[in-house]
Structure 1
Amino acid sequence: MQDTLSNPHNPNQKTVFTVGYAGHDRDSLLALFKAHGITAVADIRTFKRSSYWTAFDADSFGPFLRAQGIAYVFMGDVMGGKPQAPELYPDGQLDYDLMAQLPEFQDGIARLISGANKYRICLMCAEKDPLDCHRTLLIASPLKAAGFDLCHLVEGGVEHQSETEQRMVALNGGDVPDLFATTAPDPDAETKLALQRQIKRVAPRAQDAIKRR
């Protein structure tokens, strides 16, 4: 039997799944988790409650999953895509590079990496398309660097992070490499440029993300 923690395309590469619950109800999302052998859900929303998708409020959805034998942990306090610290929005828009440098965010990544040795983890947020979510725009990079493949559970099946990045490049275009550059070309340059452009397009703005108290 194949190791359920591995990527079927590369048995030596571990997998972390992700999903956006928008468009689901509890039963359909649970069925998706079971179909892919998910044993733990890391909730990476900033806020534990939703004004619209109330079935996924942490206080009730967590116990619902645990009753089904799936571990649940809320990590939005360290990995949420709408942090409440104004200094992370230096130009009015969330700076993912600044957020990635926070010790608490790095600790969150370390917890995921450690947890993946025991569980088949799915990161859960609200956003349906991983291309528009910090699952891809922020969290994917450090997990890829640690040797993980992100598999996004989307309508119609599973989209690997490499496929998400291909869509990102197609959407954001690309520049012709500088033929006269003095340094060796970066094979990931087009993807990095597309990521910067996608972040500029969809990263939350302070006026919308930070709750007024």
Structure 2
Amino acid sequence: MSFVSRSGRKCMKENNGAKIYTIGHSNNSLEHLTKLLKENNVNVLLDVRSHPYSRFVPQFNRENLERESKQLGFEYKFAGDYLGGKPEDKSCYDGNEVNYDKIAEKDYYKKAIKRLIEISQETVTAILCSEENPHACHRHKLIAKTLLDMGVEVLHIRHNGKVEKAEIVDKQLPLF
């Protein structure tokens, strides 16, 4: 069953005009991330990492972002429990591999997506994960796919300052 049901189609029309940015911190400085957020007028940064900690880039640890965000000009919110790419919910896995389709069917995920859209309709919002390349990250493979299916515009902020419009291309079946 598709995530966008009959009621989702109605929702698609209501979400026209909604826009959500995504960004990955990678090994950059907090100052560089802040610069990119400001260039795109982001006011709310929603952290979608399941485990918001790193010994390699501690400036992006959850508590540090919570503490520093106001001074840097954005509001930080953590949503990795609901929108993370590695949920604790074991039913979202096939063996050791996470299955994004299973996550997308979970009520907690759907409610969090709805709340994300609501926040984005109030103010400019970006979701944060650790991967710089969105195509290697659940913020594109899972979250952007869901949002695009619902009629929300998704824009990936890259570290060089460029902004890419997210698109989901269905895999083409081989001819033979």
User: Aligning the two structures, in what range does the TM-score lie when normalised by the shorter sequence?
Assistant: 0.7 to 0.9
- The one-letter code sitting in structure 2 at the alignment partner of 1:160 is K
Larger Rg: 1
- State the identity %: 26
Match of 1:71 in 2: 75
- The one-letter code sitting in structure 2 at the alignment partner of 1:50 is S
Match of 1:136 in 2: 140
TM-score by length of 1: 0.69
Alignment gaps of 5+ in structure 2: 1-15
Distance 2:36 2:126 in 1: 11
Aligned-pair CA distance for 1:145: 2.6
Q: 1:22 aligns with which of 1, 26, 29?
A: 26
Structure 2 contact 83–109 (Cα < 8 Å) conserved = yes
TM-score by length of 2: 0.83
Match of 1:118 in 2: 122
Distance 1:87 1:20 in 2: 27
Distance 1:84 1:176 in 2: 35
- The one-letter code sitting in structure 2 at the alignment partner of 1:37 is N
**Cα distance change of structure 1 residues 48 and 176 upon mapping to structure 2, 3 Å threshold:** closer
Quick one: higher RCO (CA 8 Å, sep 6+), 1 or 2? 2
Distance 2:102 2:174 in 1: 29
- The one-letter code sitting in structure 1 at the alignment partner of 2:164 is E
Alignment gaps of 5+ in structure 1: 1-11, 179-213
Match of 1:92 in 2: 96
**Cα distance change of structure 1 residues 127 and 154 upon mapping to structure 2, 3 Å threshold:** same
Give the 3-state SS of the residue equivalent to 2:50 in structure 1: coil
- The one-letter code sitting in structure 2 at the alignment partner of 1:175 is L
How many residue pairs match? The answer is 160
CA RMSD across the alignment? 1.9
Match of 2:165 in 1: 160
Aligned-pair CA distance for 1:176: 5.3
